[in-house]
A and B are shown apart, each in its own frame.
Chain A
Amino acid sequence: MSRETILDTRELEINMGPQHPSTHGVLRVKLFLDGERVQDCECVIGYLHRGVEKISENRSYIKCVPYYDRTDYIAAVSNVYGYVLGVEKMMGIEVPEKARYIRIMMTEFNRISSHLLWLATHALDIGAMTVFLYCFREREEILKLFEALFGARLTTHAFRIGGLWKDFPAGFEEAARKFIKEFPDRIDEYEELLTNNRIWIDRTKNIGIISAEEAINFGLSGPPLRGSGVDYDLRKIRPYGGYEEFDFEVPVGNNGDTYDRYIIRLAEMRQCCRIIEQALDGLPEGPVRGKAPKIVKPPVGEYYSGIEGPRGELGYYIVSDGSAFPFRVRIRPPTFISLQALRRLVRGHLVADVVAIIGTLDIVLGEIDR
């Protein structure tokens, strides 16, 4: 049926960002609209490109670490984990067992705080402002723990090559146990507000559907991949740092839409509590600093060390030429690759759904642009 109208219609190009309340940072999306429906979109990134990979070639191995905090600034603790594991593997440094347990515990706390921030901003974009305030309330508790152990709230420089800098301060374990005892009730609070909420379901079900095969071809990882039904979690497939000793489940979705990814992330938060509890119960005694040289010089070689971050597979490809500075450190950013799929996900949806889809991909511009 051909549409005959007296109005001459054509495609409208609208700019969204880089200054926009819902783009989670400095992202610019050019939308090509037919009325309210999106025909195509083009992402323009690079507004936060700071040259971190070039900086890594000019700093020693230890001094590179604070820069990686600032790439994915929301998950700064777990960000550094992959790099530190890679360097330790190349140099053959043994990490004490207590340090391994504490590292896993803080990485899981970081996963919870990252998912809380995701939920806060995602819900805020869709319109639920109360969830933003509730999530930040919980997040403050976790940031207090980070500050007690690492000295900083956000960009922590958490792990050193060889272990940790310091052991727990007094009262840390009680505070951590108190948090994970109360936290599952809080997740129930968020679920009560959102999961069966008619508006939430209308805004997120069947939005941004991607099939498993396409997700694999687009190189997705983390919740966007697991939402489509692919059971791939690096903590189970290629365990690193001691994860094989912990017992936890990996939630997997069926439809590959925004609602499934939301359910998966909430379930992941519950599993994080399980891991933290196991870590606290089985915490061994001993030192937390391993034996590492003052000048870190790995042998000539290369290593790809990937971890399961809150956003997907975060990888560090470290190439060493035997000197004190890395030859090349390549950061494999999961969100750079997820954002590429945005073009495929928004076709046919409304402009308001674009906001929901950007939120569900959980992007961080610091990591995309490096």
Chain B
Amino acid sequence: MEDKKKPKSTSEPEKPSESTKASSGVESADEVVGASAEGTGNESKEDSVPRKPQKPTGPAGATSAKKNPPKRRPIKKGPTYEDLENDEQVQFLRERFGDDLDSAQSFLGQKILTINPASLFDALSFLREELDFDYLIDLTALDYQGEEKRWCLVYHLYSYSSGHFLRIKSRICEGDVPASVTPIWKVADWLEREIYDMFGIEFSGHPELKRILLPADWHGHPLRKDYDIKLQDQSWVKKHLKIRKIPG
């Protein structure tokens, strides 16, 4: 727990010490609940001045707290998702894809486009052929367990000729089989194998979809949120390893 300076009087708020001055952290469990309930992006403000639990002063203390409410520090806004509909590139893509482009946002200067999975392969081919996004930096997935569209595929693209950096996201449901982008970028081969290994998402049209990091006959997909971190496949262990009894 953080050290807090002793309050000088019950009505004046004390300033927390330098090391606990939070630009975006919050100090107690109550404030966490309060902060997350407020929605996206504003977690970086300081909700209320942290203070030591005060001695019960009775009715006099209560009215003095009402008369002099604690001074709130000005709220410092953290980064938020910004809408990008006015961007030229986004408008060009909107013309081409219309409603398949679900949304266009930016966060901290990085562009994020969300595309409908039905036209994901066409959109990525278009980005490669027409807009010259020839470098697929990374391909990964996120697990939003509990939501209907559980998976979110994330593609990071870069164009050598124009220097643009782009992130493409696509939400798919459990059991969906998206198309593999190996025909477009050869690098996607192992990246998709890793997504299959860790999450269990299968890709159609992949040359050789099999496990890459875990043993070939392992059961379970570790990066799913419902897979416990220490869960080992006991049948695999029994079949392949001879665990010895440690003497003494």
Residues of A whose CB lies within 8 Å of any CB of B are: 45-46, 49, 51, 53-55, 58, 89-93, 216-219, 230, 232, 237-238, 291-304, 306, 313, 315, 317, 319, 322-323, 327-328, 330, 332, 336-337, 340, 369-370
Contact = CB atoms under 8 A, between A and B. Distances in A.
Interface in B196-229: 198, 211-215, 222-223, 227, 229
A317 B156 CA distance: 10
A92 B79 contact: yes
Contact of B137 (A217, A294, A306): A306
Given A91-B23, A218-B186, A237 B163 contact: yes
Given A55-B229, A230-B160, A301-B108, A219 B137 contact: yes
B127 interface: no
Contact of A219 (B26, B40, B136): B136
B23 A291 contact: yes
Given A91-B78, A92-B78, A300 B190 contact: no
Given A216-B135, A302-B107, A330-B138, A323 B212 contact: no
B117 to A, nearest CB: 19
Contacts of A369: 213
B194 to A, nearest CB: 8
28 contacts: A45-B213, A49-B213, A51-B222, A55-B229, A58-B229, A90-B108, A91-B23, A91-B24, A92-B24, A217-B186, A218-B186, A219-B135, A219-B187, A232-B160, A293-B21, A297-B24, A297-B25, A297-B43, A300-B40, A301-B81, A304-B138, A304-B167, A313-B137, A317-B138, A322-B43, A327-B142, A340-B186, A369-B213
Contacts of B136: 219
A315 B81 contact: no
Contacts of B22: 293, 295
Contacts of B214: 46, 49
A198 to B, nearest CB: 36
Contacts of B79: 90, 92, 299, 301
Among all A-B residue pairs, the 9 with the closest Cβ atoms: A293-B25, A219-B187, A46-B213, A293-B22, A299-B78, A49-B213, A299-B43, A332-B138, A330-B140
A315 B76 CA distance: 28
B99 interface: no
B126 interface: no
Contacts of A302: 107, 112, 167
Contacts of A294: 2, 19-20, 25
Given A92-B78, A93-B23, A301-B80, 18 more contacts: A46-B212, A55-B229, A90-B79, A91-B24, A219-B135, A219-B187, A232-B160, A237-B163, A294-B19, A299-B40, A299-B44, A299-B78, A300-B40, A304-B156, A317-B154, A319-B142, A323-B32, A340-B189
Contacts of B61: none
Of A217, A322, A328, A340, most buried by chain B (CB within 10 Å of CB) is A322
Interface in B33-68: 35-36, 40-44
B236 interface: no
Interface in B114-158: 134-138, 140, 142-143, 154, 156
Nearest to A301: B107
Interface string B1-37: 0100000000000000011111111110000100110
Interface string B73-88: 0001011110000000
A369 B143 CA distance: 20
Nearest to B36: A322
Contacts of A55: 229
A315 B138 contact: yes
A154 B35 CA distance: 40
Contact of A322 (B35, B76, B156, B229): B35
